[in-house]
Structure 1
Amino acid sequence: MRARTVKLSLAAAAMAVAGAASTGLSLRAEAQPAPAAAADAVVARVGDQGITARDVERRLAQIPPFQLQSLGRTPEEIRRRFVSQVLVRELLLAQGAASQRLSERADVQDRVRGVLRSALLQRIQAEVAERSPVTDEEVRAYYEAHRDKFTAPAMVALWRIVVATREEAEAILAELKKDPSPQRFKDLARERSLDKATGMRGGDLGFVALDGATAEPGLTVSPALLKAAARVKDAELVPEPVPDGDRFAVLWRRQSRKAVSRPLEQEAPAIRRILAHGKVEARVKKLLERLRAKDVSGHAPELVDLIDVTSTGDLQPLRRPGTLASSRRPGAPPPSPVPRHDLR
């Protein structure tokens, strides 16, 4: 869009003035500006705030085309309505808020700080992306250093009840044939398993690798159990007791998981995002350290102990220094919580 074409006709200006005469708004049709000054030409003014052709062009570029179509049928109509119905409206509301001194409200100040914080973070992200982009070498190095995150061996989930004799194991299998439910298996594991650690979890060993390793420290599964589990399908009980050292196990194969190997080409986009985020975080941390040393003063975090936060997340009134949160007469109701506002 050429900036020199962004202007209000006399008719559009008159309509806007008629609709906003009581607010101090003035709109005027500018003479066709010279090309060199087109971007800075003022197309509308609200109080002491002006809207330039550059502002219009910048804001129009941020609007999806399907939304712009609702403003008119021609580019000229869209531009003029966008100025009068969007940009002018924004400035009028902002001017009304300023006249009511809304900027002095605590919740408004919180939102302003939030906008400034987000703007600074976005600027840091853009600067890092431009000045220190993530390289292919960095992506490859991260992949090699964290290869265990992108590969996983085949595993099988097992439940086990350990007993002393084959007869005990056969009796448990007979009970499970009558009631082959997960809950019954767990109950029997808690009641009868000699392995109390896994018995308390209902016999759940979790996922077991083909070498017998599990996610539990110090817990491994014998090759005999894995061999027996390989003879049945997922969700099936091993139909006979399995010798496990000098004991016997009732074994249930719950499910299996295939081996996973995700190549660098597949993971590169995600790794690149992780590394970019890390660079931004490092830049933010460095900035915060500098700003903290420069601007933080009178830091007294112990004073927040005067604020009570209930178990439901509500704030109680401030306590006086030297008093306890429970220092009220016996039988008295607790103080009413202070409503929460914009604590996100």
Structure 2
Amino acid sequence: MASVNGTKITKDELYNELVALGGTSTLDNMITMELIDQAAADANVTITDEDVNAEIESLKTQFGGEEALNSALAQSGMTLDDLKKNTEIQVKIRKILEPQTKVTDEEISTYYEENKDTFATPEQVRASHILVETKEEADAIKKELDEGADFATLAKEKSTDSSAANGGDLGFFGKGDMVEEFEKAAFSMEINEISEPIKSDYGYHIIKKTDYKEATDPTLEDKKEEIRKLLVDQQVSELSSTWLSDLRSNAKITNKLEEEETTQSTESTDPTETTTTE
């Protein structure tokens, strides 16, 4: 496979190293995936790109947008492709096991009443800003904006805040998320209005309000299907462990890696070695 100063690294050495670095768990995962695929085929379950994409879109909403989801993926060492593969598996398991679940209207109503506060959404503002250290800098930038300069371009060029890379965009935020001076201005402005320089402990902000969402308080009917899906997912999660265990128990599985490890373990033990006590 390779050589270093004439010393060969053989295919067997590479194979053994790969196994030691996680080959056993990787093969075990592959066996599990094959069992799930076979179970899906037996149940006539198929997964479409639309199924997977719908789940991804739902996750984006839960995380507060695509950017927030991508950030969470990066922090966990995952890519979007990894997420799609995992999502496909979860959707497949759900479709197989969902016929075994039962969610009543009473359970949905109870869940809604117990979690009503989590469904309400307070009013939110979306804004961009340019942050600089001095009033003189802020006044000069405001003058450029009044003369027609592009806000996002100036934010990228002159803002000292990390949001500069996004043209100053801070996304949506609610009351209590920003410093008081910034929040008061942002919530009182009209959409597309640009503020005068606002002083805070961080410096001077020039704010552009770009969007607004009213507070929402959804009814049971509004959330009924969302809650039903959530409760079905909970039941599927409870069923899946036993179901996977049963799949393994009823399948004919040959795992040569485990056989090799067992053989190597046996060979490493000296059958003539005895323990004596005085």
TM-score normalized by the length of structure 1: 0.44
What is the letter of the counterpart of residue 249 of structure 1? H
Q: 2:122 matched to 1:153?
A: yes
More helix as a share of residues: 2
Q: 2:73 matched to 1:117?
A: no
Structure with higher Rg: it is 1
Instruction: Give the % identical residues.
Output: 29
User: Shift of the alpha carbon at 1:286?
Assistant: 2.0
Q: Which runs of 5+ in 2 are unaligned?
A: 1-36, 46-92, 259-278
Q: 1:199 to 1:301 in 2, by over 3 A?
A: farther
Q: Distance in 1 between matches of 2:95 and 2:206?
A: 58
Q: 1:263 aligns with which of 195, 219, 223?
A: 219
Q: Counterparts of 1:60-139 in structure 2 under 5 Å?
A: 115-118=41-44, 125-126=98-99, 128=100, 133-139=102-108
Q: 1:236 aligns with which of 187, 193, 205?
A: 193
Q: CA RMSD in A?
A: 3.2
User: Shift of the alpha carbon at 1:223?
Assistant: 1.5
State the secondary structure of the residue aligned to 1:236: coil
The aligned residue for residue 48 of structure 2 is none
Confirm or deny: 8 A CA contact 2:123 2:174 kept in the other structure.
Answer: yes
Q: Distance in 2 between matches of 1:225 and 1:144?
A: 35
User: Shift of the alpha carbon at 1:252?
Assistant: 0.5
Q: 2:244 matched to 1:288?
A: yes
Q: Which runs of 5+ in 1 are unaligned?
A: 1-110, 214-220, 303-344
User: Shift of the alpha carbon at 1:256?
Assistant: 0.6
Q: 1:146 to 1:296 in 2, by over 3 A?
A: farther
Confirm or deny: 8 A CA contact 2:192 2:209 kept in the other structure.
Answer: yes
Q: 2:232 matched to 1:272?
A: no
The aligned residue for residue 333 of structure 1 is none
Q: 1:160 to 1:118 in 2, by over 3 A?
A: same
The aligned residue for residue 298 of structure 1 is 254
The aligned residue for residue 60 of structure 1 is none
Q: Distance in 1 between matches of 2:218 and 2:41?
A: 39
Q: 1:210 aligns with which of 163, 175, 185?
A: 175
Q: Distance in 1 between matches of 2:186 and 2:111?
A: 36
TM-score normalized by the length of structure 2: 0.53
User: Shift of the alpha carbon at 1:155?
Assistant: 0.7
Q: 1:121 to 1:258 in 2, by over 3 A?
A: closer
Question: With CA pairs under 8 Å and 6+ residues apart, which has the higher RCO, 1 or 2?
Answer: 2
User: Shift of the alpha carbon at 1:282?
Assistant: 3.6
